[in-house]
Amino acid sequence: MKLTGKKTAPYRYLAPTIILMIVFMVIPICMVIGYSFVDGAVVSQNPEFVGLENYKTIFADSEYIGAISNTIIFVVVSVVAHLVLGMLFAMLLNSKYFGTRTKTIARVVYILPWVFTASVVAILWKLMLQPSGIVNYLLSVFPQISQNTEWLSNRSIALGVICFINIWCGYPFYMISILAGLQGISGDLYESAAIDGSTATKSFLHITIPQLKPILISIAMLDFIWTLQSFNVIWMLTGGGPVNSTETLSIYIYKKAFQKVDYSMAATAATILLVVCIFIAIFYVKQQKKVRE
């Protein structure tokens, strides 16, 4: 077979992409997986192969279990709240009761949190949530609710506050996606349902939701993966503290690698996270395939 022949043409077209993927994805991922099976990866001249020992150690680490627990709470609460809020705001913007100008202004206002970068979000909320910040100032008119609450420094509420901030900056993505889906649903369906005596709730449950299902599943899957890997906002707001109460898996991995210089354990945690993400990605791809069919 000639290298310049017709049969090799597709491979030649694909070659740049394949090379880039191998260099920037496959090799680093394989290296990280490899690190998870050795002790003293990166920092040792002769890392020792330890098999699955790192995996045994990590599952016995209470800090890791705490990070898993925090991550599950953070991801589930964020994704569900994103979905509910996104749906709510999308339906509001799709409603016929508001004029075009009102809708346009509302759309701009609602999407603002998504436009901000993580550092802006973190600085903004850190300033507002300071014990002497504007949130406590506004709440001071209700002394029974708050008295100089340390929103980010109180172990019992810090994770909840982080979830709230993540929800605030993530819901517009859902809103825009669902709004696009809502605008694609034919009005005839609702008219027919109304003629048959369907209530608004029934129309929502039996027309809106089924019509939006492919979009909802897709964005929920994507959001699940993104939230699972969320790092910047948490790191800049609390650094995983106080006393690891907001430490998610991404923070745990970062601390292991760059504070404790334990690249082997960091790679082990990262590999486990990779496996979880791969399962979700497979589910996502299958869902996309189903939609196309």
Partner 1 sequence: MKLSTILKKGLAVGLMGIMVASLAACGGKEEGKTDAKTDAKTEDGGSDSKSSDVTLKFQQWWGAELPEGYLDDICAKYEEETGVKVELLTAPWADTKTAITAGATNGTIADIISVDGAWLSEFVDMGVLTDVGAAGVDSSLASDIWKVDGKGYVVPVLNFAYPMYVNMDILKDSGVDAIPTTWTELRDACKKITVAGNSAFALNLGTTNANGIQNVFMGTGWGSGISLKDDSGAYKTKDNAGLASLAEMFKGLYDDGSLYPGMSTLEESEMTSNFAAGNCAFTVASAATMSQFTDINFEATTIPVKDDFKDKSGICYASWAVGISDSCENKEEAAKFINYLLGGMDGKDGSASAGLAATMSAFPNSTVAEPDYSKAPKQFQAYYDLYKENYVINEFIGLPNASDVMTSMTNDLTTYLEGDIDSATLLTNWQGYLDEAGK
| Tally of CB atoms within 10 A around 157 | 15
**What is the C-alpha to C-alpha distance for residues 196 and 204, in angstroms, rounded to an integer?**
14
- Provide, rounded to whole angstroms, the least separation between the CB of residue 173 and partner 1: 27
Backbone φ and ψ for 38, nearest 5 degrees, come out as -125, 160
Closest CB 15 distance from partner 1, rounded Å: 16
User: Which CB atom, from 221 or from 234, has the smaller least distance to partner 1?
Assistant: 234
Shortest spacing between CB 153 and partner 1, in angstroms? 4
Q: What is the full DSSP assignment across 214-253?
A: HHHHHHHHHHHHHHHT--HHHHHHTTT-STTTT--HHHHH
Q: How far apart are CA 172 and CA 230, in angstroms?
A: 17
Asked if residue 87 lies in contact with residue 174, where contact means CB atoms within 8 angstroms, the answer is yes
Q: Quick one: 31 or 291, whose CB is closer to partner 1?
A: 31
Instruction: Tell me the two tokens of residue 201.
Output: 């709730």
Q: Are strands 48-49 and 38-39 parallel, antiparallel or unpaired?
A: antiparallel
CB closer to partner 1 out of 47 and 214: 47
Q: Which is nearer to partner 1, 15 or 84 (CB)?
A: 15
Closer residue to partner 1 (CB): 121 or 152: 152
**In the bound complex, what is the minimum distance in angstroms from residue 116's beta carbon to partner 1?**
20
Minimum CB distance to partner 1, residue 170 (Å): 22
Question: Of the two residues 100 and 132, which places its CB atom closer to partner 1 in the complex?
Answer: 132
List interacting residues with partner 1 (CB under 8 A). 42-45, 130-132, 148, 150, 152-153, 155, 158, 235, 237-244, 255, 258-261
Handedness of CA 77, 112, 124, 119 (dihedral sign): positive
* Region of residue 5 (phi > 0: left; psi between -120 and 50: alpha; otherwise: beta): beta
Least distance in Å: CB of 257 to partner 1?
9
